[in-house]
């Protein structure tokens, strides 16, 4: 199989109808915060225990097509001594890997940030590929205010995302391109739409410049919502605003848009995705790539106790099933019960 054929096969598996991607790529500081919220100290063994439990959930592959792993997890074994990528593959789930090295302030652009990690990326991808990873994810963030993001931040972050994506495809790894427009702040849904469209247009201009094959990538964007300090919009309002922006800014060649949850509650993220799919067919598959919005109930149920494993698995499977329903617009709030 050629690299092109491998890329196409991986994309096809990731955007299957009724399925989405589980983002389990939390860095050590992030997962420490999540564990702290349920009274658990974040140690390597506790991270291994928790992730092994959720990846072993029976039936997870019915609703989850891929899992984004943190570098530590890619090299670990499960509680029953299987390599994590092999454990996932047995469920029909594609293993992936987060490859960026985090963000830092962008010089001469106060309030803006840039993501780093391009140095040595090609060599790292070869290692990850040999460990079983078939796709990768890179996240850049865009702050919103009356003046942010600056034009230089939009252009610089788009360039980084495109360079990352081109490197991934050159070694047979499907890139997930994640331009996250942050929910932090008191901006209106209209301001979010304005920024989101500007960011997406610049990202795709950069992808074109770097000759990234749009058919062999996946976009992981934010939904268009008001800032978290403003009153929430209804699912229908979020759907209308989001689809309006994406139909103007995202080429139809992109096979799948897997939204991040970005600070929404599990229920909000599911309802908003459902409202978009209820609008009818779009040029792309509209799916999910949620982290906390899928895992939060499972973490609460587990609470660091291995005996709570079945309850944690049941909580994760429920959220995966509900988001699977949202993939075709058949979710209803009464299903939460």
CATH number at residue 248: 3.20.20.70
pLDDT of residue 108: 97
Mean pLDDT, the chain, rounded, equals 97
Is 41 part of any domain?
no
CB 195 within 8 A of CB 189: no
- Whole-prediction pTM value? 0.97
Tell me, what DSSP letter sits at residue 77?
B
Contact 106, 113 (CB under 8 A): yes
pLDDT reading at 270 higher than 90: yes
- The residue from 178, 202, 268, 296 that is catalytic is 178
**Residue indicated by tokens 């040999």:** 130
DSSP β-ladder status, 285-290 and 256-259: parallel
Report the alpha-carbon distance of residue 243 to residue 280 in Å, rounded.
11
Average pLDDT over residues 301-325: 98
Share of residues in the chain with pLDDT > 70 (%): 100
Residue tagged active-site, from 19, 98, 137, 220: 220
pLDDT of residue 174: 98
Domain presence at residue 54:
no
Q: Is residue 245 part of a domain?
A: yes
Q: What residue numbers bound the domain in which 241 lies?
A: 3-18+67-292+322-336
Domain count, the chain: 1
Active site residue 44: no
How high is the pLDDT of residue 337? 87
**For residue 247, which phi and psi values (nearest 5 degrees)?**
-70, -25
Does residue 59 lie within any of the structural domains?
A: no
Q: Which of 325, 295, 300, 298 minimizes the C-alpha distance to 314? A: 298
295: Cα separation from own chain's centroid: 13
**Residue partners of 231: CB distance under 8 A and separation at least 6:** none
Active site residue 178: yes
In this structure, is residue 112 part of a structural domain?
Answer: yes
**Residue 214 located in a structural domain:** yes
Span 239-256, pLDDT tens digits = 999 999 999 999 999 999
- The percent of residues in the chain predicted with pLDDT above 90, rounded, is 99
Q: What is the mean pLDDT of residues 91-110?
A: 98
**Sequence-ordered list of residues with C-beta below 8 angstroms from that of 45, at least 6 positions apart, any chain:** none
Residue 260: pLDDT above 90?
A: yes
pLDDT digits (tens, 9 = 90+) for 30-76: 999 999 999 999 999 999 999 999 999 999 999 999 999 999 999 99
- 37's CB contacts (< 8 A; 6+ apart) are 299
Per-residue confidence at 318, pLDDT binned at 50, 70, 90?
Answer: very high
- Take residue 68 and report the two structure tokens written for it: 């984004």
Question: Residue 54 burial by CB count (10 A; 0-12/13-18/19+): exposed, middle or buried?
Answer: buried
pLDDT class of 1 with cuts at 50, 70, 90:
confident
Section 275-282 average pLDDT: 97
């Amino acid at each position: 199989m050629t690299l092109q054929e491998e890329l196409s096969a991986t994309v096809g598996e990731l955007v299957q109808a009724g399925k989405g991607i589980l983002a389990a790529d939390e860095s050590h500081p992030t997962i420490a915060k999540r564990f702290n919220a349920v009274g658990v100290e974040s140690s390597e063994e506790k991270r291994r225990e928790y992730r092994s439990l959720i990846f072993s959930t029976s039936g997870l592959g019915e609703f989850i097509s891929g899992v984004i792993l943190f570098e530590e997890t890619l090299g670990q074994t499960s509680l029953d001594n299987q390599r994590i990528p092999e454990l996932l593959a047995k469920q029909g789930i594609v293993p992936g890997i987060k490859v960026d090295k985090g963000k830092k302030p962008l010089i001469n652009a106060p309030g803006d940030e840039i993501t780093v990690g391009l140095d040595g990326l090609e060599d790292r991808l070869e290692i990850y590929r040999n460990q079983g990873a078939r796709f990768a994810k890179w996240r850049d963030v865009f702050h919103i205010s009356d003046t942010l993001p600056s034009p230089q931040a939009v252009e610089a972050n788009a360039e980084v995302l495109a360079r990352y994506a081109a490197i991934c495809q050159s070694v047979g790894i499907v890139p997930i391109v994640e331009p996250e427009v942050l929910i932090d702040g008191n901006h209106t849904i209209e301001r979010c739409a304005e920024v989101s469209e500007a960011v997406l247009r610049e990202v795709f201009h950069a992808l074109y410049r770097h000759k990234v094959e749009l058919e062999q990538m996946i976009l992981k964007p934010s939904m268009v919502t008001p800032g978290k300090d403003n009153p929430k919009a209804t699912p229908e309002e979020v759907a209308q605003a989001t689809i309006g922006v994406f139909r103007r800014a995202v080429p139809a060649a992109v096979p799948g848009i897997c939204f991040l949850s970005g600070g929404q509650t599990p229920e909000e993220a599911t309802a908003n995705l459902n409202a978009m799919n209820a609008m009818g067919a779009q040029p792309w598959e509209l799916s999910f790539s949620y982290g906390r919005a899928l895992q939060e109930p499972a973490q609460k149920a587990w609470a660091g106790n291995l005996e709570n494993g079945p309850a944690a698995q049941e909580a994760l499977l429920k959220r995966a099933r509900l988001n699977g329903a949202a993939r075709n617009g058949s979710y209803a709030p009464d299903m939460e019960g």
